[in-house]
Amino acid sequence: MSQDKKSFFDFTSPFDLERQIEIFHKSHKDQFFVPKNDKFKMKTLVLQRNYLIKYNEKSTTQKYFNITNALIEIVSHPKMGLGISLTKNGGNFTFYGIVEQWFIYMKKWCIQSNFSKEYNIIIMIGKGSFAKVFKIQRISDRKEFAVKVFDKSILKSQDRPALLKEIELLRLMNHKNVVTIQETYENDQYIYLVQELYQGGELHKELKRSRTFSERGAFIIVQQVIEALIYVHSHGIIHRDIKPENIILREEGIIDQIVLADFGLADYYRKDCKYMFTRCGTPGYVAPELLQDKIYDHKVDVYSCGVLLYYLLVGKGPFDSNNYDLTVKANFNGQVDLTKFNFTNECLELLRGMLDPNPQNRLTLEQVKKSQFFKRHNFTYNQVSSQTSLGSINYQSDSQIQSPQQSPYQDNRNFNEQKSRFVQYNSPLHSPMRLNSPNLSPLTGPQHKSPNLQRVPIQI
């Protein structure tokens, strides 16, 4: 990126700070040569996630650098060899030594400027209102990835905090069932978010082909989502958009390797509920208290996961309707009728616990894991192969569950067509969508009509 262009990631916080820091045993720690007054001094450096610490065992306080969104480059010195240069807010810190592995650790938190020298673009695989997604190949080893590309010329000033928040949350993720960012690049025109390439596509598309899942098949998917959410919640984050479109299969047809994606609506949990976006999510999947403008917490994700379980078993959501406003109204009330299904008692008990409209009575994630439904299927699941294909499980049409005479996707065709007017998703990394509505009840709009709760592209 040219020097006269201001970086999208510029911060006003200082680059060099000092305070008491606990050095963890598993942190990366090594010695490097640091230039000072035209000389080089050996310094012990410690890397703890996004903090680079100049460690001094004799001092009670440590000098550190918050490397988040610093420009990172590999540099070379005629005597010292390779080094890493970090530039942020006009400040620079450079160190030399065996830096290759440290560069791999650090680049997740930093910004690079040479995307075209590192990757070749193969084909576009998705397009949203503010970003395009491409399949790419790394030049050094020909490994394939996906990259989400944002055009800075169409990003408005108010869009910046939302995109920065999403990038920040994705960088924190390091779990097999959760999407993360591999690298971030920026040049004068574009921002590039490099992520893992998932070959299996969205669970939503698999559901269109398979219609419904047996209880065992639904368990295999939901238990992975639960594990992903436990990890996400452990970082103090709520996802707020659990749905089949945001669940990705790593390999086509393999349901025990799923990934929870799209953190465009995620945020750090706040007791006061003052989020960047307070009422957000997808109609038919959100928890009632969120639509009712009540204070909410992590249990909104449990409710959405309960809707997901219902969807997997039945082939459509409990609130789906040919009328959009009726869907929102039913979702607002949050009452789900489970009397017409012949699910097992363990399954019904779990669904009632996850879909309780009262968050005080709703199950926690840990209670879901301890449910009889999970215990029974965990025992069975552990006896089978580590890779479960869609073809190896019974669908509902082959089980004891009562199913409609025709595909539930045909029953719900008009509703899906209506929603498609507000949604563009062609890839595992589609631009996130959110409900965009005033801070009032969706049932008390002017002329008794529901306010605009359509999913619209986020403003980043």
Annotated binding site for ATP: 156
Query: Token match 């047809």: residue?
Result: 253
Across-strand partners of 248? Answer: 202, 259
What tokens appear for 264 in the block?
A: 């465009």
Residue 459 has what DSSP assignment?
-
**Secondary element (H or E) of residue 416:** helix 413-420
Altogether, the residues listed in the chain come to a count of: 460
List Cβ neighbours of 6 (8 Å cut-off, separation of 6 or more).
Answer: none
Across-strand partners of 115? Answer: none
Residue 128 has what DSSP assignment?
-
List Cβ neighbours of 253 (8 Å cut-off, separation of 6 or more).
Answer: 200, 206, 389, 390, 391
What tokens appear for 127 in the block?
A: 């397009």
What are residue 377's phi and psi, to 5 degrees?
-80, -25
The candidate with the shortest Cα–Cα distance to 265, out of 427, 150, 435, is 435
Query: Token match 């700070």: residue?
Result: 17
Catalytic residue among 30, 141, 188, 241: 241
- Rounded-to-integer distance, Cα 220 and Cα 381, Å: 8
Cα dihedral 262, 265, 271, 275, rounded to 10, equals 150
Residues 426 and 293 sit within 8 Å (Cβ to Cβ): no
Active-site residue 411, yes or no? no
Going by their DSSP bridges, the two strands 190-196 and 183-186 should be labelled as: antiparallel
Burial class (CB in 10 A: 0-12, 13-18, 19+), 367: middle
* DSSP collapsed to 3 states, 275-314: CCCCCCCCCCCCCHHHHCCCCCCCHHHHHHHHHHHHHHHH
- Rounded-to-integer distance, Cα 128 and Cα 171, Å: 22
What is the sign, positive or negative, of the torsion defined by CA atoms of 401, 247, 158, 278?
Answer: positive
Angle among Cα 41, 46, 48 to the nearest 5 degrees reads 155
- H helices of 145-263, in order, are 160-172, 203-210, 215-234
- Catalytic amino acids? 241
